[in-house]
Structure 1
Amino acid sequence: METTKKYKWALTGLIVMILLNAATLITIWINQPDGKDWRKHRNQKHDRGSIQEYMKDQLDITDQQAETIVELRREHYREIRSFRDSLDQHRRAYFKFVMSDDAGDQTKRDSVLNLLTGQYENIEGLLYSHMTEIKELLNEEQQAKFEKMMLNTFFKEHNKRKEGNQKGN
């Protein structure tokens, strides 16, 4: 009887897990965003040109504009790579400081935090410059579409969390 009882509980647990997985997959499938997603333009090799194809479709940019944007993006990613590496080093230093015995030293904390904050400012400055360069390539109609596209891209996750919090209240 003991083995039968264990078997029934295991079977019940298995069925519950299957139902939970099915419900999760259905929820994810139903809640997919209706908007177009630039990632859908990617092929199986995750082509780096997918964003340019998406921009061509959405912004009606010319081939010349697309080529210039490709060059701007390459340059931007080369610049930002070194800043991200530095940011990672500062994050590690901050984490080590927080976990160290000196964590209560306000002066050291401020010093490490200022270095970390400076790196974030540098990265945001590079992003601002990059967006400005791209915006200058576009005509007024394309700029308006670009602004909407970037807002949707940058704040998509934020809006999802915000909507989820509002539903929970």
Structure 2
Amino acid sequence: MHIKTKTFQITPKELRSLLTVDYYRRMKITFILLAILLLINIIFSVLQNRFDWWLIYFVALMAYFVSVPLFFQVQKRNSTLNFQNRYCEIDENFFAVFYEDGSIVKLNYSHFIQVTKKADYYFLYMTKGQFHYLPVAAFESEKDIHRFDLFLQSKQLIKLW
């Protein structure tokens, strides 16, 4: 298997937007639980005709979780290489990224701990906070996408089903 992608680039604004959407998807259950607890707390406070300090704690906690994406500092946390034009070459042994300035990053698949696939992109995680972004649109064909998915599944980095 040898796959070469098209040249692609992501801006800090686009990456921040992707990370924000991903954060809200992952936190959806937490938001629902906090909203339910907040609603129950409000109902009991109104029925008992008294002020409950837990209401302020829940509102503050909810505000904190909702505002976390505002603190994402994508440019400071990521290398400037991540925002350059680049393309990838993928084979059975290595995942290589070729940047427009001539830099090359060649990684063995054992360096990846997890791969997350969304509809438009892959995040290939090396640590919990460090990843390589790979858009699905960068692949030449659907066949290449399918081969890459099956290969990642064989390496136990992604679950397709």
Q: Do both share a fold (TM > 0.5)?
A: no
Structure whose CA Rg is larger: 1
TM-score, length basis structure 1: 0.26
Higher helix share: 1
Q: TM-score normalized by structure 2?
A: 0.27
